[in-house]
Amino acid sequence: MEASQYKTPSAQVLYERYADMLYRLAYAVLRAQQDAEDAVAEVFVKWIAKQPVFRDAEHERAWFVRVCVNQCRDFQRRRKIRVYTPLEEMSEVLAQSPSDTTEVLETVFALPEKYKMVILLYYFEDFSITEIAGSLGLSVSAVKMRLSRARELLRCDMEGNHEDV
């Protein structure tokens, strides 16, 4: 093993490091607690099965996010997840946020997936634009454009103006 090679932490450390973030991402996409929990569990099953070698901590985090996003898409394809979820089912995620952000979160959750993911990663998970690009397999300019369009959609929705961007 080279001295410069990144040493992957134990499964327990990785779970403690990424489980909550992955759950929030999966829940935002799948909008069902059980499906989000299943998606996170599948991500860790894939990690155990593949035992990927990471270059560094950023590569490690990007791998977990990318696998989680792909797992959510697989769930959506297989289970034909409905687009609408009653707010009562989202109470777990919304209850963790201050009441003044509940309206913003509801609006974010209503965005198309490609915009919702970049907003969640950038503002709620503190990913950089470069990290988002790597995690989602997009170019940096595509991430910047999606963030710009998502902000415009959010602004229009929050102002009650529902024109397409």
How do residues 68-80 score in pLDDT, each as one tens digit? Answer: 999 999 988 886 6
Amino acid at 19: A
One domain for residues 63 and 144: no
Instruction: Tell me the residue range of the domain where 10 lies.
Output: 1-96
**Whole-model pTM?**
0.66
Same domain, 63 and 3: yes
24 and 89 within one domain: yes
Instruction: Give the helix/strand (H/E) hosting 105.
Output: helix 99-109
Question: What CATH number has the domain bearing residue 75?
Answer: 1.10.1740
Q: How far is CA 133 from the centre of its chain?
A: 13
Mean of the pLDDT values across residues 14-36?
A: 94
What is the distance between the alpha carbons of residues 73 and 39, in angstroms, rounded to a whole number? 10
Residues 85 and 113 in one domain: no
Q: At what angle do helices 33-50 and 11-30 cross, to 10 degrees?
A: 140
Residue 3 pLDDT greater than 90, yes or no = no
Q: Tell me the HSE value of 25 on the side-chain side, using a 13 A CA sphere.
A: 33
Question: Over 80: is that where the pLDDT of 160 sits?
Answer: no
Give the end of a domain, one of 96, 116, 144.
Answer: 96
